[in-house]
């Protein structure tokens, strides 16, 4: 069964948020949607509606929220113009699939972004409302399986954060009164890569790839987020991601700058750009696993963001001297190593969950494709 298509702009009201990402309040009452996958918090709201939220730059993603919220100035807020013509849940699943097209259409240099016309000009299949609701109900059931498995992973990550706080306390308040050291005293070296020109396509196993900053913005290392580089272009020494490495993004949008991740295995055919640092701790003072949780603590990360420079909210940069001059608590190395062992055991459990998610995601994507081809 095929459905007639209608321009999305004719069925919806689309606007953008007004706030800068630094308007967030830690522990705020309302969700604050930015371009990151997880919302921040804030103590005020400007919107109270049923909305589909599309990240306008960086890590393009889609969310569905009904209630009071705030939005970043580069986040698109899409509302259904008439509930008798378009079901919001059906719209969410269409946008969830259409974001793949938006990634292809996105423009810009280091930080890709989309324009309003890319949304208003989208053609959405428009079956009768009852059929939209039927399709959305089927996809809800499939998505529920995927979300429950994601929740299991989230609980694993939350347990790890709770373990860190129990063992070491908050790194900003330092309630356990650990000795404070400058980051420069804790690190043996910071290695930066170099940015090579490359093709923005899937990399074959035998090809070289230079990582993009999006490879670490989620807090997980995503090796597929890279540009393919011809071997003839590689004329400088490369910094490769290896198991146990702590990577740090020195440049990005305000909400994504200073992202960190740990590399979970060696990668021979990948190398770092100049916007990603490899932080190498002094072995007798600190572990990468401990440092990752200090640097990714939201309050500590806010301190780093305040040291970042830039003339606009689209791209900020933090320098090595400013990071190195920051003080962090440094517990005994033996205690850090105990946490390191706990972390890698936790990652093993999480990886098993992720294999199951891969299967449920494959099923969900297949159903979504069929739904918008009129085959569900």
pLDDT at 353: 80
Residue carrying structure tokens 């324009």 = 115
CA distance 346 to 314: 35
**Regarding beta strands 30-33 and 309-312, do their DSSP bridges make them parallel or antiparallel, or are they unpaired?**
unpaired
Nearest to 119 by CA among 3, 6, 5, 7: 7
The arithmetic mean of pLDDT across residues 28-37, rounded, is: 92
Residues of the chain with pLDDT > 90: what percent? Answer: 70
Where would I find the H helices in the chain? Answer: 88-105, 116-120, 129-168, 183-186, 288-295, 298-307, 320-324, 333-371
User: Quick check: 312 pLDDT over 60?
Assistant: no
CA geometry: angle 156, 253, 76, nearest 5 deg: 85
Low-confidence winner among 67-76, 253-262, 267-276, 363-372 (lowest mean pLDDT): 363-372
**Regarding beta strands 30-33 and 62-71, do their DSSP bridges make them parallel or antiparallel, or are they unpaired?**
parallel
Where would I find the H helices in 169-207? Answer: 183-186
User: Quick check: 374 pLDDT over 80?
Assistant: no
Residue pLDDT, tens place only, 113-135: 899 999 999 999 999 999 999 99
**Regarding beta strands 12-16 and 75-80, do their DSSP bridges make them parallel or antiparallel, or are they unpaired?**
antiparallel
User: Quick check: 182 pLDDT over 90?
Assistant: yes
The conformation of residue 37, written as its DSSP 8-state character, comes to S
pLDDT at 107: 83
User: Quick check: 41 pLDDT over 80?
Assistant: yes
Burial class (CB in 10 A: 0-12, 13-18, 19+), 91: buried
User: Quick check: 196 pLDDT over 60?
Assistant: yes
CA geometry: angle 288, 293, 299, nearest 5 deg: 140
CA distance 66 to 78: 12
CA distance 18 to 72: 6
Residue pLDDT, tens place only, 207-248: 999 999 999 998 999 999 999 999 888 888 899 999 999 999
Kindly report the backbone phi and psi dihedral angles of residue 248, in degrees, each rounded to the nearest multiple of 5, phi listed first: -135, 130
Question: Contact 87/132 with Cβ under 8 angstroms?
Answer: yes
Tell me the DSSP string of 286-314: --HHHHHHHHTSHHHHHHHHHH-EEEETT
The arithmetic mean of pLDDT across residues 7-17, rounded, is: 96
Residues in the chain: 376
User: Domains plus CATH for the chain?
Assistant: 5-125 (3.90.220.20), 127-178+331-376 (1.10.287.1120), 184-327 (3.90.220.20)
Residues of the chain with pLDDT > 70: what percent? Answer: 96
Nearest to 171 by CA among 331, 360, 349, 375: 331
Q: Mean pLDDT across the chain, nearest whole number?
A: 91
User: Quick check: 313 pLDDT over 60?
Assistant: no
The arithmetic mean of pLDDT across residues 263-267, rounded, is: 95
CA distance 209 to 66: 40
pLDDT at 113: 85
CA distance 227 to 211: 6
User: Quick check: 291 pLDDT over 60?
Assistant: yes
| Integer CA distances (angstroms), 132 to 34, 81, 168, 304, in order | 28, 16, 51, 46
């Amino acid at each position: 069964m095929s459905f007639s298509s209608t321009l999305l702009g004719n069925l919806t009201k689309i606007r953008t948020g007004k706030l800068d990402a630094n308007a967030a309040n830690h522990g705020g009452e309302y969700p604050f949607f930015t371009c990151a996958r997880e919302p921040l918090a804030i103590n005020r709201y400007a919107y109270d509606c049923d909305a589909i939220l599309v990240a306008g730059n960086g890590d393009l993603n889609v969310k569905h929220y009904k209630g009071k919220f705030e939005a970043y100035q580069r986040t698109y807020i899409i509302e259904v113009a008439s509930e008798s013509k378009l079901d919001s849940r059906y719209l969410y699943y269409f946008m969830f699939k259409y974001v793949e097209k938006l990634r292809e259409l996105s423009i810009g240099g280091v930080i890709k972004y989309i324009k309003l016309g890319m949304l208003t000009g989208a053609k959405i299949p428009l079956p009768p409302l009852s059929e939209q609701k039927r399709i959305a109900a089927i996809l809800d059931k499939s998505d529920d399986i995927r979300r429950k498995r994601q929740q299991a992973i989230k609980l694993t990550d939350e347990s790890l954060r709770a373990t860190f706080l129990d063992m070491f306390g908050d790194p900003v308040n330092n309630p356990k009164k650990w000795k404070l050291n400058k980051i420069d005293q804790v690190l043996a070296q910071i290695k930066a890569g170099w940015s090579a020109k490359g093709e923005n396509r899937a990399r074959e196993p035998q090809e070289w790839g230079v990582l993009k900053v999006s490879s670490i913005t989620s807090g997980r290392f995503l090796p597929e987020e890279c540009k393919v580089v011809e071997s003839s272009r590689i004329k400088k020494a490369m910094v490769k991601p290896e198991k146990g490495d702590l990577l740090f993004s020195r440049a990005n949008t305000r909400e994504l700058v200073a992202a960190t991740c740990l590399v979970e295995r060696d990668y021979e055919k990948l190398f770092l750009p100049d916007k990603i640092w490899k932080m190498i701790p002094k072995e007798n003072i600190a572990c990468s696993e401990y440092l990752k949780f200090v640097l990714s603590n939201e309050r500590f990360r806010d301190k780093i963001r305040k040291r970042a420079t830039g003339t606009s909210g689209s791209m900020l940069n933090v320098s090595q001297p400013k990071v190195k001059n920051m003080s962090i608590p440094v517990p005994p190395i033996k205690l850090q190593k105990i946490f390191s062992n706990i972390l890698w055991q936790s990652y093993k459990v999480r990886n098993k969950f992720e294999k199951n998610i891969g299967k449920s995601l494959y099923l969900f994507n297949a159903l979504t494709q069929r739904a918008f081809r009129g085959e569900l």
